[in-house]
Amino acid sequence: MKKMQNVTIKGTKEGIVLHLNDQCSYHALKAELKHKLLAHSSLEDEESPIIAVKIQLGNRYLTPEQEEEIKSLVRAQRNLVVDEIISNVITKEAAAKAKLENEIVSATVIVRSGQVLKVEGDLLLVGDVNPGGTVIANGNIFVMGNLRGIAHAGYNGRRDAVVVASNMVPSQIRIADCLNRAPDHYAKQDRHEMECAYIDSSNHIIIDRLQVLKHLRPNITRLRGGF
């Protein structure tokens, strides 16, 4: 009967992928990994280029100490560097953070001058953002009212985030690290058509009709029915 391999080494265009069995003991896994890395390293010479290594853990969870041990085994071999460790398992803290980032937070308020409303996920605001008021979300921002203040969507770097408003007359819009101050004609009139702001392919924030999101961001919201 053929013995099951706890470590499988596969070469790719980007480097090497180590697939680690998630059913065996950690001790057995570490021993086999060390043996196979030594065998692989013996085939390389000092002139060999640096090789990036991705480590696939499957459904195995490693403590920070175990993760560092695995990295050290790889780094101890000639020309190998750890590029990434990938696991299907996440900690409770990471799961809680992901839950927050994917929530739709609704609020029925008026954000007045000097006030800041900030959420980790998407923000659905039924109310106005007055001049001097600020709304911030790690996800998308939907304002069912007048947006006359500042809106910052995707504040942690989500460039696919959008800002939507029933009346889009902002003093400033930010999406991720992009910034757009509203043109003068926006400040001088009410625009009674729902509009959206998004980052286009040229890395600029564009304000357009809401309907364009059906094509640009088809999965923009988890609300039933979408837009």
The CATH classification number of 96-216 equals 2.160.20.70
Can you give the pLDDT at residue 191? 57
Tens digit of each residue's pLDDT (9 = 90 or more) over 148-169: 999 999 999 999 999 999 999 9
* Count of helix runs (H) and strand runs (E) in the chain: 5, 15
Can you give the pLDDT at residue 216? 77
The boundaries of every CATH 3.30.750 domain in the chain are 7-89
CATH architecture of 7-89: 2-Layer Sandwich (3.30)
pLDDT for residue 87 is more than 90 = no
Q: Which two tokens stand for residue 114?
A: 């000097």
Q: How far apart are CA 55 and CA 38, in angstroms?
A: 16
Q: How crowded is residue 183: how many other Cβ atoms within 10 Å of its Cβ?
A: 9
Q: In what order do the strands lie in the sheet with 7-11?
A: 7-11, 15-20, 51-58, 80-87
Q: In what order do the strands lie in the sheet with 195-199?
A: 104-107, 122-125, 141-147, 163-168, 195-199, 205-209
Quickly state the pLDDT bin for 210 (edges 50, 70, 90). confident
Can you give the pLDDT at residue 104? 87
Can you give the pLDDT at residue 136? 97
CA 130 to chain centre: 30
The boundaries of every CATH 2.160.20.70 domain in the chain are 96-216
* Residue 74 near residue 82 (C-beta atoms within 8 A): yes
pLDDT for residue 62 is more than 90 = no
**Overall pTM > 0.75:** no
pLDDT for residue 2 is more than 60 = no
Amino acid of residue 40: H
pLDDT for residue 222 is more than 70 = no
Tens digit of each residue's pLDDT (9 = 90 or more) over 88-136: 887 777 777 767 767 889 999 999 999 999 998 899 999 999 999 999 9
CA distances, 63 to each of 68, 90, 220 (Å): 9, 11, 35
